[in-house]
Structure formats: C-alpha cells, structure tokens
C-alpha cells in the first residue's frame, strides 16, 4: 500500500489522539478557572483541586505520548508492535489516581483529627464548581464511549480519572456550602475522604485492565464468540479452525489460529481463504493483527472422523490451544 494512503487503523490512531487532546484542553480550561477563583478568594480547597486538575492535564500529555508511541509499526526491537506503550501510559495514569487518593485521604484525616472547618465562601463559587462537575461529566462520558469503542486502556484510564472530578468538584462544592452555612462543617472532610476512596477504587480498576494486558490475558468471551461467528462464515471452505489465541496490546487485538484444510487444497487457495478471514476480522475490529497458520488435515489419523463428529468447525472453547493438534 502506498505510504500516502490512510488506512482504517491510521484513522483509529488519529481518533484516539483527538480524544486525548480534547481532554488536555478541557483540563487546562477548568484548572485555570479553579486556580483563578482560588487565588482571588483565598480558598485552599479550590486551589488544591485546581492544581489537581492541572496535573491531570500534564498526565494526559503522558498518555498522548504513549498513544503516539503505541501507533508506531512493528520493527526489529518490537516485533509484535508497540501497542503495550498504551498500557504503560494507563499504568502511569492509574498511579496518578492512586497518589491523588492517598494525598486527599491524608489531608482529610489530618483535618478530621485537628477539627479544622472549611472557609466561608460565596454561594456563586459553589455554582461554578457544580458547572465544572457537569463539564467533567460530559467529557468523561465521551471518553468512556471512545474507550469502549477503541479498547484503548490509555483512554479508559483517562476517562476514569476525569470521572473522579465529577465527585471531587461536586463534593467540594456541596461540602464547603454546608460548612459555610454552619450546619455541619465536618461534612467537607467526610466528603473529601469519600472522594479519596472513590479515586482508589477507580485506580484499581485501571490497574486491573493494565494487568490483563501485561499478562497477555485472552480477549473477553463476548469477543471470542463474535470472532467465532466471523470465521464460521467461511466454514464451507475449511475442515476446522482451532488453536485460537488472543490478547490485547494497547488498542490492538492480536489473534492467532490454525486453519485446517483438506490435503488437496492448493497453497494459493488456502492463502486466499486466510486473507478473507483476516479481512473480515479487520472489518469488525480495524486495529487487529491476525495470524492464520494453514495446516493440512492428517488423513493418517484414522479416528479423526469420529473425534470430529458433533464438534463445531470453529473451536472457541478449548481449555488448551494445543488440545486438537492431532488433526493435522
């Protein structure tokens, strides 16, 4: 393919980059607003949230770099591609979330021990913070949708992190308002501790996704079923497909399979069939690397017919990928 032709995979990369750039710009705008109000009114809690938001923008730049690195094609040093750089970026984002949770929790406990009450603030500041929470809600929903669509761990981490700001800004606004009215000043501290717990759980969710990629966990069962349906479209042209191995590398799915054909099938025909399967999978998931191993049916194994009777042509439920190697 000529170098100036844009592929679907290229468009996917550009889409992920646009998503993160949008998150960076939004974080900078909101943090600038929060820090400005904090400086004008002398509000420490709002200043802390503004700094936290600014650090999120810096964090997002790291995620953006990870996505750009992950988009590099396979080379001599990374022969399976650079997709896991996205997982590295997600791990960094999860670490930021965990550190923020520890910091907020520490300050909350310190305030609880020393009985500090929140500053008096104008009611309109609470309104501004609630508007910021609404902005974060819209942005995080957009990023979450893109994370599900692209299967990008970096964008998922970004979406989860931004979602925490909904609770942080809303919680600080509500807590400070209650404290300012003098009805229950300790509410601010309790809400801060609640935010810390929320941040911690979200960071664990991100780390779980990252761990699955670093340990080469298989794709979800729902996606394996879809994969089987795609391959089954060509079941009239092969004997069996087994040895399916899958894993996620960044936003790229990596799939391997053994395609068993009759011994008289020519190499050219089997090659064309494998390309049809690969193209059909890529149509469903553009950022997919599929490897098809073509194998002739072993006619010397006399019991192969009885062992294949009642068996699906596409084996997606094998306990071990090698359990049907007898067939070729």
**Domains of the chain from N-terminus onward:** 8-214 (1.20.1510.10), 221-327 (3.30.70.1350)
Q: How far apart are CA 305 and CA 146, in angstroms?
A: 46
Q: Please report, rounded to a whole number, the percentage of residues in the chain having pLDDT higher than 70.
A: 79
Res. 83: pLDDT tops 80: no
Distances (CA, A) of 257 to 9, 244, 312: 22, 4, 15
Retrieve residue 255's tokens: 């799939």
* CA–CA–CA angle 17, 20, 24 (5° rounding): 135
246-282: pLDDT as tens digits? 988 877 788 999 998 988 999 999 999 999 999 999 8
Global pTM value: 0.66
């Amino acid at each position: 393919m000529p170098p100036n032709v844009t592929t679907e995979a290229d468009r996917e990369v550009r889409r992920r980059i646009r998503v993160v750039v949008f998150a960076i710009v939004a974080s900078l705008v909101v943090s600038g607003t929060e820090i400005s109000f904090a400086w004008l009114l002398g509000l420490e809690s709002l200043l802390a949230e503004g700094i936290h938001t600014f650090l999120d923008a810096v964090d997002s730049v790291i995620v953006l770099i990870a996505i750009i690195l992950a988009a590099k094609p396979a080379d001599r040093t990374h022969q399976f591609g650079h997709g896991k750089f996205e997982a590295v970026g997600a791990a960094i984002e999860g670490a930021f979330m965990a550190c923020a949770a520890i910091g907020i929790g520490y300050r909350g406990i310190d305030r609880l021990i020393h009985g500090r009450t929140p500053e008096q603030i104008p009611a309109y500041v609470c309104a501004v913070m609630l508007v910021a929470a609404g902005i974060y809600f819209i942005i995080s929903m957009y990023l979450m949708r893109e994370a599900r669509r692209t299967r990008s761990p970096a964008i998922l981490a970004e979406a989860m992190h931004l979602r925490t700001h909904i609770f942080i800004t809303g919680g600080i606004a509500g807590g400070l308002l209650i404290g300012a009215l003098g009805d229950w000043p300790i509410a601010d501290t309790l809400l801060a501790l609640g935010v810390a717990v929320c941040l911690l759980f979200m960071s664990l969710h991100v780390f779980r996704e990252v761990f699955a990629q670093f340990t080469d966990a298989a794709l979800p069962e729902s996606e394996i079923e879809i994969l089987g349906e795609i391959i089954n479209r060509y079941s009239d042209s092969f004997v069996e497909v087994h040895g399916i191995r899958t894993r996620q590398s960044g936003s790229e799915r990596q799939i391997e399979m053994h395609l068993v054909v009759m011994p008289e099938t020519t190499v050219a025909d089997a090659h064309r069939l494998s390309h049809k399967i690969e193209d059909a999978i890529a149509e469903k998931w553009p950022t997919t690397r599929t490897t098809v191993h073509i194998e002739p049916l072993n006619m010397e194994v006399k019991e192969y017919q009885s062992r294949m009777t009642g068996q699906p042509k596409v084996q997606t439920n094998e306990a071990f990928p090698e359990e049907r190697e007898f067939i070729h």
